[in-house]
Amino acid sequence: MHFNYIPVASEFSNSEEAITNIIADFIAPLQQIGGVRSSADIITSKEPLFFLSVTGGVEQPIFSLAMQRHELFPKEPVFILAHPGNNSLPASLEVLARLQQDNISGRIFYLSGADSKESFNQVAQAVQNLETARRLSGLRIGLIGTPSDWLIASMPSAESVSAQWGPQIIPVSLDEVKELIASAEESELSAHVKSLTGNSSQIVEPSGEDIKNVARVYTALRKIVAKYSLSALSVRCFDLVVELKTTGCFALAELIDEGIIAGCEGDLNSTIGMLWANYLLGEIPWMANPAQIDEQKNTLWLAHCTVPRKIVKSYKLRSHFESGLGVGIQGIIPEGPVTLIRIGGKSLEKIWLEEGMITQNGSAENLCRTQIEVQLINGGSVSDLLKAPLGNHLTVIRGHHKARLSSSYEAMQ
């Protein structure tokens, strides 16, 4: 990632030599995290921008530049870099106070020294937050069919999605997908059938035709992605079960493994959560139902009939749990740290984030096929889900990332 920073000094210290002498200790550390020293000419660049308060007496110049920037990028916070000398910090405080009086968000990053790793890490994270927000803005998410009827708390409007998170919702008829499924050629299926069966540890219920049919669903969705230039999609997949006696479980898992985030049941809330976490952290997400909760142990079981194969140690091919049809994936996810995510609220303005540990995998026959038990840690409580849920599905990401996700979320508000 790259970002620009504009050093701003008072009229008493604004020669190139004077500025360089004052900020000399910070030039190399900023460069190491992608910082490029720039002039005010860069104000129109889409790359993230910081104002470096070199000295005192720069309040008005920085404020003027910040307002120019704000007119061009009104959703972008104003970032100011301050250092310990030359009245840099007090000038920065004055500028940010004025910006906030005008309801413009911003942040001061205090660089206490060249070896202040935490300070430079905060700058790098702020850059990444901005880049993630920009990547999300204007992306195209295909909503194939409508959200499943039971997702009564997970049906945000396209306008809410765009306003709160940035992506554009592209409606796609499920009939178009069905036509593509029906017209799939045998030659399109063989590689996917071979991959799915050849890497599985066991095939339990599905027949050879079942497996070919889920490969047909994958090829159809892949064509939809290409036709509509989609970065993500969510499918009203139970209609495929009812009408075509097949499932989207393999297709959605395979698309996620390929970098196309794919949600189940037309759930846009979870699709956006998966997309956001994937872009910010580079981790492959998994969407699942909270199936069981133990408040005493502070644990919950999560389960779903699809899981990206790149995050499992092994997997079996099973039928879809609710219907007994098609192909579901029963994967074993490695035990270890995870973060749970749920986006909700009428306008997608709320979020639930907690960290936990996968303690075991399950194989219960009365739950969806892939099953993990997660124990919440670091103050998280499963009781929150019973008292103030934001909806059904949760997104699971490997690793502990609550602070990182919270920082990114706050930057988008």
Using an 8 Å Cβ cutoff, are 332 and 313 in contact?
Answer: yes
Q: How far is CA 19 from CA 23, 57, 109, 151, 167, in A?
A: 6, 14, 19, 58, 41
Q: What is the chain's mean pLDDT, rounded? A: 95
Separation CA 82–CA 7 (nearest Å): 10
pLDDT tens readout for residues 297-349: 999 999 999 999 999 999 999 999 999 999 999 999 999 999 999 999 999 99
Instruction: Show me where the domains of the chain are located.
Output: 3-136, 140-411
For 271, residues 6+ apart whose C-beta sits below 8 A from its C-beta are 141, 232, 233, 234, 261, 262, 263, 287
**Closest listed residue to residue 128, CA positions, set 348, 258, 277, 287:** 277
Separation CA 410–CA 413 (nearest Å): 5
Using an 8 Å Cβ cutoff, are 8 and 54 in contact?
Answer: yes
* Residue 357 pLDDT: 98
pLDDT higher than threshold 80 for residue 200:
yes
Using an 8 Å Cβ cutoff, are 68 and 42 in contact?
Answer: no
Residue 385 pLDDT level (bands cut at 50, 70, 90): very high
Q: Which CATH superfamily is domain 3-136 in?
A: Response regulator (3.40.50.2300)
* Residue 13 pLDDT: 82
Q: Do domains 3-136 and 140-411 have the same CATH topology?
A: no
**Closest listed residue to residue 285, CA positions, set 309, 302, 268, 308:** 308
Averaged over 142-154, what is the pLDDT?
Answer: 88
- Bridging pattern class, strands 314-318 and 202-203: parallel
* Residue 154 pLDDT: 87
- Bridging pattern class, strands 261-264 and 336-344: unpaired
* Residue 175 pLDDT: 95
Is the domain defined by 140-411 classed in CATH 3.40.275.10? yes
pLDDT higher than threshold 90 for residue 153:
no
pLDDT higher than threshold 90 for residue 412:
no
- Bridging pattern class, strands 3-8 and 49-53: parallel
Q: Which residue has the tokens 């935490």?
A: 118
* Residue 268 pLDDT: 95
pLDDT tens readout for residues 7-53: 999 988 888 899 999 999 999 999 999 999 999 999 999 999 999 99
Write out the two tokens for 323.
């219907």
Residue 249 pLDDT level (bands cut at 50, 70, 90): very high
pLDDT higher than threshold 80 for residue 413:
no
**Closest listed residue to residue 328, CA positions, set 156, 203, 218:** 203
pLDDT higher than threshold 80 for residue 117:
yes
Cα dihedral 233, 154, 327, 396 sign:
positive
Residue 149 pLDDT level (bands cut at 50, 70, 90): confident
pLDDT higher than threshold 80 for residue 108:
yes
Neighbours of 141 (CB within 10 A): 25
